[in-house]
Amino acid sequence: MTTLHPVRSAPPPGTDDGLLDGDPPSGARPVPPGGELLAAVLAATPEEEQPVTHVHHLPVRPSRTTDWPAWTDPALRDRLAARGVGAPWQHQVAAAQLAREGRHVVVATGTASGKSLAYQLPALTTLAEDPRACVLYLAPTKALARDQLASVAALADPSVRPAAYDGDTPAEERDWVRRHSRWIVTNPDMLHRGILPAHQRWSSTLRRVAYVVIDECHAYRGVFGSHVGHVLRRLRRICRRYGADPVFVLASATVADPAAAATRLVGTEVVAVTDDGSPRPGATFALWEPPLTERTGEHGAPLRRSAAADAAGLLADLVERGARTLAFVRSRRSAESVAEQARRILADRGRADLVRRVDSYRGGYLPEERRELERALSAGDLLGVATTNALELGIDIAGLDAVVLAGYPGTLASLWQQAGRAGRAQRESLVVFVARDDPLDHYLAHHPRAVFGRPIEATVTDPANPYVLGPQLCCAAAELPLTPDDLADFGGPVAEAQLEELVAAGQLRRRPTGWYWAGRGRPDVDIRGSGDEPVAIIEAGTGRLLGTVDGGAAHATVHEGALYVHRGDTFVVDEYDVEDACAVVHPESPDWTTVARDVTDLAIVSIEQTRPLGAVTAHTGVVDVTNQVVAYQRRRLGTGEVLAEFPLVLPPRQLRTRAVWLTLDSRAVQRAEVDDAALPGSLHAAEHAAIGILPLLATCDRWDLGGLSTAVHPDTGTAAIFVYDGHPGGAGFAERGYAALRRWLQATRATVASCECETGCPSCVQSPKCGNGNDPLDKAGAVRVLDVVLDELAARDHADPDTDDTDDRTVGTGDGAPAAAEPDLVF
């Protein structure tokens, strides 16, 4: 393997500053504050590299407390005081008061801002006042659910008997939970499969539900989020039927427009509390981009040093200075390799004493393991841990000296969640975001306002998606016949049209009293799947079922020869049987990964919205995408270097979904000064970069999106760039791109224009999942095409300032430095 971090194999000059050299690694001398830690790390970096693109200082923010509301249960207040909560923070009382008054509320404040107390205060007070009342608490992960259970158990009156009701609850306990618990910790899956279909059995609980708590509600997004939205509508309907009208309290780390996102999720008006009154420790926050290297990837594109390699170097440097550091990486395998590389660097520097104090977090997600890690880190036994985002939620590690983020974790909420692990009250900490070789990471490294400004990513759901709505209406009808009065909650006319289709398909029956489920048994709806039949992954030799992959993604991920990662372990696919929907794999850890190659065709089915901009027109609508995986490449881990390509024979797949697209007539093409030869590559490059950037505005991953560009599309007769949702029926991402078109394309243009490569690289216009092997791509042409589109958008917005997309204060145009005044942040 190549030496991934050559510059740091020698002792850094920074260790001569006498800070900790030769000292016991922790305890004896204080760890320097974040700014000094950064300076020391940078002193060890070759001058020509200059990886730091921006340094942001987050000042200490003092807390703002207020009085307990008069209605607070005195016993609860005493228990809180005993746990060190002397007075509530202002946002906690603001949210609690709204909930107490019966308003649905979302608390959208920062990490560790005490969001739990905002719902515990009204909910536990009501439980104390009314011995029959109960609470349903929903969490997106079982680990978080178990943690919350412990926290409520410590605060609640013993009569509350908090208990979990999820897939891990033994059958013999389930009855007990239903009968006795007044704080039931569960998840949307259990609500969907276990509680709502058996609502008669649950009726005595459901008629007493006073509050429904939806923690970490930003986790409910895309198709899954749209399903959860309907599960919550079903819950409200059933509760109403039993005479209950629970108050919904949602909690989330900050996302754009939390009130609108929460309202869409719950299906009724939700107000937001966002003014964070909790204290924030200070931090130095550096944006870091690894330099381009001599190595080349597809079409000779220069490759950057990997984020994991730089993260390992930083981890070693920081540990050497005694700083307790967490490095967040993207996969479990990467966690192990980053910890290993950091240990090697320390060993090379003769710091054998520190080697054993660096580890990776690779265990399951058991509470005991997390507690042990917390203990070892806070006791200083461990100084450096490389971890996946498994440690992001539901763990009480705070007060670290430094956090390194190797790559953008996908959402700003996650970024702040991870960054928030650093910081102590008295001293500022260090956070380093290390960009990966990818357009979004590159953009963030060069546009601090996108990180430190107002949040711009929105939690996108689309409850009107017919592939979600149809099955959900079936579930609702199977629970209780649907009546015309119910329809408003499920989308009104859209739901009515869907019901007609379901009746025509024989799934529902229309009777004078409503719509009835006509199928056998219960509707079988997987709220986490795409609707395609899942593909079973079977281990050769043992016959063990390792898991399943979504049918929609299977051709690209478990084709013969594919590298398949399951819970951090790697396997290679021996055989993929499309008919039987199963793939046989064997364990193997090669030093390569695989990427599928495909060809795509797209036909426009219907246009829903059109924005004529002159020579350019923007649209959204429904499209049919035909996709066929035709080959795959092996790429070297870490560098992305293409090692080999193999053909595949797989049937095409059809996807009806939603898209956003731009058409450019000949005037636009002329103005962009791209000739016939350059046009396909210019459009293709713009499409790739746009796909790379959309997750900045919509909480999705670039793998949730697809794209197609062409010099002449048969349905439009013009040059066109399409970006579509990679899920049947759409997930709302393309619509979000349409709504934020200008900001999206400004950021796209800035990413391409500011990348220092000459003709395109993975940080700007190359895509890791391009079906055409990133050919053709014309970086310069892409910038000119985007300029023409942006000119037209600017002219249009000037003429019609009411469009929803005129606010570009947060995302700069990319060429200039960020504005001097950056708004205060939730941290």
Ligand X SMILES: Nc1ncnc2c1ncn2[C@@H]1O[C@H](COP(=O)(O)OP(=O)(O)OP(=O)(O)O)[C@@H](O)[C@H]1O
Q: Using CB under 6 A, list all residues that contact ligand X.
A: 85, 88-89, 92, 111-117, 253
Distances (CA, A) of 646 to 561, 630, 719: 9, 9, 32
Q: Using DSSP, how many helices (H) and how many strands (E) does the chain show?
A: 25, 29
The dihedral formed by the CA atoms of 209, 211, 216 and 221, expressed in degrees to the nearest 10: 70
Token pair recorded at residue 655? 């996807």
State which residue, 51 or 409, has the beta carbon closest to ligand X. 409
State which residue, 112 or 160, has the beta carbon closest to ligand X. 112
Residue 385 DSSP SS3: strand
SS3 content of the chain, % helix, strand, coil (to 5): 35, 25, 40
Nearest approach, Cβ of 231 to ligand X (angstroms)?
22
Nearest approach, Cβ of 111 to ligand X (angstroms)?
4
Residue nearest to ligand X (CB): 114
Beta pairing, strands 642-647 & 616-636: antiparallel
State which residue, 395 or 583, has the beta carbon closest to ligand X. 395
Nearest approach, Cβ of 123 to ligand X (angstroms)?
13
Nearest approach, Cβ of 85 to ligand X (angstroms)?
4
Token pair recorded at residue 135? 């609470």
State which residue, 117 or 400, has the beta carbon closest to ligand X. 117
- Own/partner contacts of 494-503, CB < 8 Å, gap of 24 or more, are 494/464, 494/469, 495/469, 498/466, 498/469, 498/470, 498/473, 499/473, 501/466, 501/470, 502/470, 502/473, 502/474
Tell me the residue type at 123. Answer: A
Tell me the residue type at 401. Answer: D
Nearest approach, Cβ of 88 to ligand X (angstroms)?
5
Nearest approach, Cβ of 183 to ligand X (angstroms)?
15
Distances (CA, A) of 765 to 437, 691, 768: 11, 10, 10
Nearest approach, Cβ of 212 to ligand X (angstroms)?
17
Nearest approach, Cβ of 211 to ligand X (angstroms)?
16
Beta pairing, strands 209-214 & 283-288: unpaired
- Whether 358 and 315 have beta carbons less than 8 Å apart is answered as yes
State which residue, 72 or 746, has the beta carbon closest to ligand X. 72
- Own/partner contacts of 22-27, CB < 8 Å, gap of 24 or more, are 23/322, 25/319, 25/320, 25/322, 25/353, 25/354, 25/357, 25/383, 26/322, 26/324, 26/380, 26/383, 27/380
State which residue, 115 or 653, has the beta carbon closest to ligand X. 115
| Half-sphere exposure in the Cβ direction for 360 (13 Å, CA) | 23
State which residue, 113 or 746, has the beta carbon closest to ligand X. 113
Nearest approach, Cβ of 216 to ligand X (angstroms)?
7
543-571 as b/e, with b when 16 or more CB fall inside 10 Å? eeebebbbbbbbbbbbbbbbbbeeeeebb
Nearest approach, Cβ of 86 to ligand X (angstroms)?
7
Backbone angles phi, psi at 50, to 5 degrees: 40, 65
State which residue, 265 or 650, has the beta carbon closest to ligand X. 265
Residue 39 DSSP SS3: helix
Give the integer Cα–Cα distance in Å for 239 and 689: 46
Nearest approach, Cβ of 117 to ligand X (angstroms)?
5
Nearest approach, Cβ of 265 to ligand X (angstroms)?
17
Please give the biggest Cα pair distance in the chain.
85
Closest CA to 234 of 463, 556, 550: 463
State which residue, 112 or 213, has the beta carbon closest to ligand X. 112
State which residue, 213 or 747, has the beta carbon closest to ligand X. 213
State which residue, 79 or 207, has the beta carbon closest to ligand X. 79
State which residue, 399 or 587, has the beta carbon closest to ligand X. 399
State which residue, 394 or 762, has the beta carbon closest to ligand X. 394
Nearest approach, Cβ of 364 to ligand X (angstroms)?
20
Closest CA to 309 of 763, 759, 754, 640: 640
State which residue, 26 or 187, has the beta carbon closest to ligand X. 187
Token pair recorded at residue 538? 């079977």
Token pair recorded at residue 449? 């306002």
Give the integer Cα–Cα distance in Å for 427 and 550: 46
Nearest approach, Cβ of 103 to ligand X (angstroms)?
20
State which residue, 85 or 153, has the beta carbon closest to ligand X. 85
State which residue, 67 or 172, has the beta carbon closest to ligand X. 67
Nearest approach, Cβ of 253 to ligand X (angstroms)?
6
Nearest approach, Cβ of 224 to ligand X (angstroms)?
20
Token pair recorded at residue 620? 């959204």
Give the integer Cα–Cα distance in Å for 388 and 366: 14
Nearest approach, Cβ of 66 to ligand X (angstroms)?
9
State which residue, 21 or 824, has the beta carbon closest to ligand X. 824
Nearest approach, Cβ of 113 to ligand X (angstroms)?
4
Distances (CA, A) of 179 to 151, 159, 183: 22, 12, 11
Token pair recorded at residue 15? 């260790």
Q: Mapped to the 3 state alphabet, what secondary structure does 52-76 carry?
A: EEEEEEECCECCCECCCCCCCCHHH
- Whether 431 and 422 have beta carbons less than 8 Å apart is answered as yes
Give the integer Cα–Cα distance in Å for 418 and 391: 8
State which residue, 100 or 304, has the beta carbon closest to ligand X. 100
Closest CA to 138 of 232, 224, 253: 232
Task: End-to-end CA distance of the chain: give it in Å, rounded.
Answer: 39
